[in-house]
Structure 1
Amino acid sequence: MSPELLLAFVLFAFVTSVTPGPNNMMLLASGVNFGVRRSLPHMLGISLGFMVLVIAVGLGLGELFRLYPPLYAALRYIGAAYLLYLAWKISHAGAPQGNDGSNAKPFTLLQAAAFQWVNPKAWIMAIGAITTYTPQENFLVNVVLIAALFALVNCPSVGLWTVAGSFLRRWLDNPRVLRLFNVGMALLLVASLYPILTDFH
């Protein structure tokens, strides 16, 4: 991979990772409700799960969806339904660290990694990375390189949202204000579905 292509890819990885989407909306809410330390498995799960997804797309899963579009359409509907379920859970989250007696827990590493497979934005990012930035020469090596670089850029990028959420905690001590925040995050999560599902062809 040439230095120019590498720089362009790192910029692509940063912009697509740091801009609003399902992962970042959930991490912002997690930062508010659980803090940075308890949200670390969620952050790492996103990056590791996405790395595996990029490798899978590079190894041919993306081509399978191109050949059989109904499979991808089904994935989008499943992903959208799951995002709506997560939005409902966020809107009903309790006070930070369960101070209201709720059993709310942050995502585990495996839950966050598995979520990437039904996250429409993650699929768009993975397909874009493979089709646009992966040189054909030594393709398999480049797929692994692209996936690893994406994970390295992705983790601190999404982490910014968790940190932002943790800074908001002090202003959200009031359960009523926290409730409004969580409902707002849930609505933003639902809104994040619209451009993702309409822009991809």
Structure 2
Amino acid sequence: MSLHLWWLYVTAVFLISATPGPNMLHVMTQSIAHGPRRALATMAGLMSAVLLCLIASALGLGALLKASPRLFDVLRYAGVAYLVWLGVKAWRAPVGLAATAAPARSHHALYATGLLTGLSNPKLIIFAAALFPQFIDTDRPFGVQLAILVVSFVVIESFWYSIYALGGVKLARWLEPVNRQRLFNRASGVMFVGFGGALLGARA
């Protein structure tokens, strides 16, 4: 991989990761609900989804999805259903004393939710299936290129996770009034459903 191609990749990933999407919204909401330290489990789940999608794409899953629209549709509809479920859950999330009385979620549950959210992320699915393979030069060693691309993505994605998590910490203070909590929960719910709609319109 040439340095020029790597810079194009880094720029694309930086801009895509910075754009608000299910992953970043999930990091922020979990940071608000559980604090930035416990949100690390959520970030780990999201990052696992990133690694799975990128490696699967590099190994040929992206080409398989293009060749098999029905398989892509199955994955797409499953992702849509999960994002809509997250939206409904966020809309109905407890506020005030009911929220503080709710039992703390385990790290395993936070990780699993992050993993499923990442795997249903329309931005990640489209990037992995359509764009990621184009940055691999078939005339150069495959393993080295894959390692460079994946590590670059992980570093950039981790940076934005940190930014959104810290933003959630600051936003948590503003959300102390119950009416603001309810408004935020409903806005988050609408956004998750909107991301589901974006995934529904995606094509392999």
Aligned partner (choices 124, 127, 132) of residue 122 of structure 1? 124
Give the corresponding residue for 2:115. Answer: 113
* Cα separation, 2, equivalents of 1:165 and 1:71: 36
- Tell me the number of residue pairs that the alignment of Structure 1 and Structure 2 aligns: 201
1:49-84 per-position Cα deviation (integer Å, ceiling 9, x unaligned): 201220011101112111211000111111000001
The one-letter code of the counterpart of 2:169 is: S
TM-score, normalised with respect to structure 1? 0.88
1:142-200 per-position Cα deviation (integer Å, ceiling 9, x unaligned): 22321222111111113222211111111111222201111111111212233443253
Q: Which runs of 4+ in 1 moved over 4 A?
A: 95-99
Q: How far did 1:99 drift?
A: 5.0
TM-score, normalised with respect to structure 2? 0.87
Give the corresponding residue for 1:181. Answer: 184
Give the corresponding residue for 1:131. Answer: 133
Q: Cα RMSD (Å) of the superposition?
A: 2.3
Identity rate, percent: 28
* Cα separation, 2, equivalents of 1:7 and 1:115: 28
- Aligned residues of 2:45 and 2:114 also touching (Cα < 8 A): yes
1:98-120 per-position Cα deviation (integer Å, ceiling 9, x unaligned): 75312363752343234333322
Matches within 5 A, 1:159-174: 159-174=162-177
Give the corresponding residue for 2:71. Answer: 71
* Cα separation, 2, equivalents of 1:22 and 1:99: 22
Give the corresponding residue for 1:39. Answer: 39
SS across alignment from 2:60: helix
CA distance 1:97–1:10, shift in 2 (3 Å): farther
Q: How far did 1:96 drift?
A: 8.0
* Cα separation, 1, equivalents of 2:96 and 2:62: 39
* Cα separation, 1, equivalents of 2:51 and 2:96: 30
- Aligned residues of 2:65 and 2:129 also touching (Cα < 8 A): no
CA distance 1:129–1:149, shift in 2 (3 Å): farther
Give the corresponding residue for 1:88. Answer: 88
Give the corresponding residue for 1:22. Answer: 22
CA distance 1:76–1:99, shift in 2 (3 Å): closer
Give the corresponding residue for 1:8. Answer: 8
* Cα separation, 2, equivalents of 1:18 and 1:156: 9
Unaligned runs of 5+ in 2: none
CA distance 1:100–1:170, shift in 2 (3 Å): same
SS across alignment from 1:100: helix
- Aligned residues of 1:91 and 1:185 also touching (Cα < 8 A): yes
Give the corresponding residue for 2:201. Answer: 198
